[in-house]
Every structure is written in C-alpha cells, then in structure tokens.
Amino acid sequence: MSDEDDQVTCAECGFENPLEAERCQNCGADLPAAFAENLLAQVPGQEPFINKARITPAQQVHLRLLGEMLAVEGQALLLGISPRRAGYTTLRIGTSLVLFLVLLFSLLANKPVFTHPSLTSEALEARQLVYALTPGAPVLFVVDYQPGFSGEMTRLGQGVLAHILAQRAYPVFLSTHPTGPAQAEVFITDLGISTGIAYLTPDQYLNLGYLPGGPSGLLSFSQAPQQVMPLTADGNSAWQDPPLQTIQSLSDFSLVLVMTEDPDTARTWIEQAGPQLQGKPLMLLLSAQAEPSLRPYLESGSGQVQGMVSGVSGGVAYQDSAVFTLQSDTSGITWSAYSLGLWVGAILLLLAGLYGVFRLVREQENELSRGDKP
C-alpha cells in the first residue's frame, strides 16, 4: 500500500493527515470516524484494507446493511402471505382458470375463427432464400432456444424446415445451448409427425450437437467447422456424407439459419459468424420478443441478415404461403387458440386496470367521507 493510502484527506481544507488523526492538523475539522473493527471481518481477503479504511457514519450504516444482507444470504426465507396478498392469490387462480378454460374451449371447438396473418416483406425474402436452395445443398440450422419457448419456436420453425426438406436440401443442426441437440431431435420428430412423411431418416440430416465456447467457439467453428466439430451428437464421424465433404468453412453452407428467442444469441451469430459467410445468406427465425431488438440488422441494408420470420404469426403465415402442405395441419386451430388467448389477456389487463382505478376512487371516497365526520 502506498503512503497516500496511509493518510486521510480533510474534506474542509484538503490537508493530508495521518491515519490515526481524529481532527485535521491544519484546520481542526473533524475527520471521518475510524472504521468499526470487525464490521466486515467475514468478507474474505479484505481484512488488511478494512483495518485502514476510514468511512463516514452514513457509509457505516450502508456497510452494516451489506453485512446483514450477506448474513441472510443462503438462508431459506419463509414467505408469509399477508391478508392483502391473499386477495391476489384468488386473482391469480381466477386468471389462470379463465385463460385455461378459454384456450381449452377454443381447442375443443375446433373452429378457426381468426384470420391468418399475411407474409411480411422480410418473411417473403426468407422464403425466397429457401426457394433458391438446390437439392443436396447444405443448410446450417442453428437450434438455439430455451426449452420453455418450444411452443412458439416449434410453430415458428416447422414450416421453414418443412420447406427446406421439400427443396431436398440437407439440414445440419447445431446448437450453442447444452439442451440444443435434444431440442433439435424433438423438433425434427414433431415435424415428422406433422407431415406424416418418413423422409426424416438419420441419413437425410445431421445433428452436430452442442458447440461450447460462446462467441469464441462460434468464431472458431465458422473458420474450421470440420476441426471444431468432428463428430455428430451421437459420436459418429460428421463430415463423411457427400453434401458435407466439401465444407471447409461457414461460407461453404448454402444458407445459415439461426432459430432463437434470445437477442444476444442472434447478435453473437450475426457478429461472429456473419463476416465468415462471405456473401452467403444468414436468416433469422425469431421469437416475437427478440424481433424488435434485431430489426436494425435487417433494415440496415448491409446484408448482415437477409431474411427474418418472427413469432407465431410469422410461422403461420410462412406455412400458409409455402407450396407444401402438412398432413396434420393444425395451424388454423392453434392460431385461433393463440389469438383468443391474446384477446382474453388484453381483456383481463383492461379489467385489471379498471379494477385498480375503481378501487382507487373508492378509497378516495372513503377517505373523504371519514374526513367529513366530526
């Protein structure tokens, strides 16, 4: 520690006083109180500094609070439910029931009520990219979403994958999430169930599995895919199939397609893998929540992203617009259930808002009436 650290500066005149001084030796002003000993003695590695630290009373209060917070960290806290919160429990159960029953009714009624959305311009570009694929063209299909989002992402991506397979292209699945390999298998199997076509045999696609390393791993894979991921997810040699023997870098894929709900994941792919594509198209399949954050890449005109399909609405529109048909096409029913759920959610939000305003007005009236009484 330097000599400066062993001195305390007077806030009034700026004079450097010895550490043990209680008053300024120049102007006599009070110096900050010495640090209470052992206040943070439990913080490992900080003892030498604590013993020499000088802090104000306000800082001591903050440190005590920090100490108390550290002390309770790791302790199981029992959550007591106040009578006020018990009312919200009823509200929670009621809301759940309403949403559940409405969705169940919509699915059981089996009647499409809502009109399907139309294809957006960026989804149209995405469709053109898939149409341009030739038979046997290798397509890197990145399955990078959390399992919780599979409801939305499956509905979003099924039409696109079915279109890729209809073009007789060769999808190669990859994920930077540990659950990605299983997620891709479920995605493929569900598509097989939807189409009823048995063309999804293991020799018609490849699952490379999990790519570790975040941005570094991704950049590394972009430059030398065969070296970084030599094996498939099930441990076999990955690059022996004819469509993949010529793959030396990411630019050897005809199309790279990233399917994610996380803007950061998509951003990493755009920024790390994008420069290695050398003009080959990068297409995004995005959850509705990620679309606004990534739209600048699409609209910048730089060609970083050349096609985008987003949300359940994008998936339904894509499926409607393609030339293929899914054997068990349930998009009409699920779209109606989804739309009805959104409407009910909007109505519940409106009711919640009205309830809040009503309650506020009633409380103010009660206060006024109490104020009028002698």
In whole angstroms, the minimum distance from the beta carbon of 116 to another protein comes to 7
In whole angstroms, the minimum distance from the beta carbon of 129 to another protein comes to 22
Q: Which is nearer to another protein, 133 or 208 (CB)?
A: 208
Quote the CA–CA distance of 282 and 126 in Å, as a whole number: 9
In whole angstroms, the minimum distance from the beta carbon of 15 to another protein comes to 30
Which residues lie across from 138 on neighbouring strands? Answer: 170
In whole angstroms, the minimum distance from the beta carbon of 142 to another protein comes to 16
Q: At what angle do helices 311-321 and 150-166 cross, to 10 degrees?
A: 20
Q: Which is nearer to another protein, 26 or 96 (CB)?
A: 96
Quote the CA–CA distance of 207 and 229 in Å, as a whole number: 11
Q: Which is nearer to another protein, 23 or 359 (CB)?
A: 359
Q: Which is nearer to another protein, 54 or 295 (CB)?
A: 295
In whole angstroms, the minimum distance from the beta carbon of 87 to another protein comes to 10
In whole angstroms, the minimum distance from the beta carbon of 37 to another protein comes to 26
Q: Do the beta carbons of residue 171 and residue 142 sit within 8 Å?
A: no
Q: Which is nearer to another protein, 59 or 217 (CB)?
A: 217
In whole angstroms, the minimum distance from the beta carbon of 148 to another protein comes to 4
Q: Which is nearer to another protein, 205 or 253 (CB)?
A: 205
Computed over its alpha carbons, how large is the radius of gyration of the chain? 31
Q: Is 277 exposed, middle or buried (0-12, 13-18, 19+ CB in 10 A)?
A: buried
Q: Do the beta carbons of residue 64 and residue 314 sit within 8 Å?
A: no
Q: Do the beta carbons of residue 283 and residue 306 sit within 8 Å?
A: yes
In whole angstroms, the minimum distance from the beta carbon of 264 to another protein comes to 9
Encoded tokens for 69: 């917070």
Q: Which is nearer to another protein, 167 or 336 (CB)?
A: 336
Q: Which is nearer to another protein, 15 or 114 (CB)?
A: 114
